[in-house]
Chain A
Amino acid sequence: IVIREGGAARAAATATNAANIAGAPLNVGAEEVNQQQQGFKRDADEYMPIANITRILRRVLPTHAKIADDAKEAIQECVSEFISFITAEANRRCRRDYRRTVTPEDVLAAMASLGFGDYLESLTVFLNNHRTQQDPERGSRNQISQSVRRDGGIEVGFLHHHQPQGAPTVRPPPPPPLAASTMGYYVPLPPPVAATMEDEEEFGGLPKVTNEFGGGEEFDPFQ
């Protein structure tokens, strides 16, 4: 298991604290002071804000429950690790299928194959609602379906709605079937959307490909 940067930063901060307690030289370098500050203020790039996490855990605990600060911090670290863990698997799927964009479907399929299948139902509903709200017309056509196969595996794919008569978009041929996937889960590739893709300029810097099986809407909320 790879040791994450978060853990390393924490260990460094602890070491610095220990050194200070033991009466280390007074001229602490600026870098060490910085690390100490980062150790105390953990809303750094690598974690979810503690306030958000606290709000979530308060929702499931009784009102009288108390939570130690280091327990909250432990949960904070676990969340980041969870994101990394799932993303690494989702990215692996992309690479395997020669795709460059990690899609929500990849994330859902990764969760299913890593044991978090229980989350799929809520997430599917959540994502479908989001798509419908973002773009009522196209969103309601781009819905995720989730069904349990005969062999008990979970299948995450697209509901194929028929296009209305006279629609201007041309239906491209269906994509080739995927190679054998892990643990029997399979995510069929959706047909490429005719609309323009948002440029993910931050990432990659590769030339824009017009026939990308990017999956669903390329909606970028970060612009």
Chain B
Amino acid sequence: MRQPGAYSKLLSGGVSGKTGPHSLPLARIKKIMKKSSEDVKMISGEAPIVFSKACELFVEELTKRAWLITLQGKRRTMQKDDVASAVITTDIFDFLVNLVVEDRNNSTAAVAANKLG
């Protein structure tokens, strides 16, 4: 993996040089992209860079929604179920539903999913 060059200071400002100019590791993003389907052949060098930013936006959105649910429960600790509820109640997160709800017989999230699904 290429070490960040002189340009990284421009891009990163205060970000530590350990992960390079982007806050998420590009090589790992690329690995996950490769695994997404059998026939992913070539990936432009910039595609993981777009994902590094997109994943930030995604984490921010998921976290904010989960935190709202934590607050609704008058708690200060975000639990896994809060994340699951955020997924279930957000349309565009539908692709994550099977990931967050493991046991449809137990847990608040499963009960919520059962009500909606």
Contact = CB atoms under 8 A, between A and B. Distances in A.
A71 B51 contact: no
B59 A222 contact: no
Contact of B45 (A122, A133, A222): A222
Contacts of A115: 91-92
A198 B26 CA distance: 17
Contacts of B57: 119, 122-123
B44 A203 contact: no
A74 B96 CA distance: 10
Interface of A, helix, strand, loop or mixed by DSSP: helix
Given A84-B35, A88-B37, A91-B39, A123 B50 contact: yes
Contact of B78 (A48, A55, A66): A66
Contacts of A67: 77-78
A218 interface: yes
B28 A116 contact: no
Interface of B: 1-2, 7, 10-11, 19-20, 23-37, 39-47, 49-51, 53-60, 62-64, 66-67, 70, 76-80, 82-84, 87, 91-93, 95-96, 98-100
Contacts of A83: 29, 32-33, 36, 51, 55
Contact of A103 (B27, B30, B44, B99): B44
Nearest to A61: B67
A75 interface: yes
21 contacts: A48-B28, A52-B23, A56-B23, A57-B59, A57-B63, A65-B77, A74-B84, A84-B32, A85-B36, A95-B39, A100-B42, A102-B43, A107-B47, A115-B92, A119-B54, A123-B57, A126-B53, A130-B46, A133-B7, A206-B41, A218-B45
Nearest to B66: A71
B48 to A, nearest CB: 8
Contact of B54 (A101, A103, A111, A198): A111
Size category of the binding interface on chain A = 35 or more
A71 B100 contact: no
Contacts of A64: 76
Contacts, number: 215
A79 B40 contact: no
Contact of B95 (A45, A81, A106, A206): A81
A134 interface: yes
Interface stretch (A24-32, A160-168, A177-185, A209-217): A209-217
A61 B36 contact: no
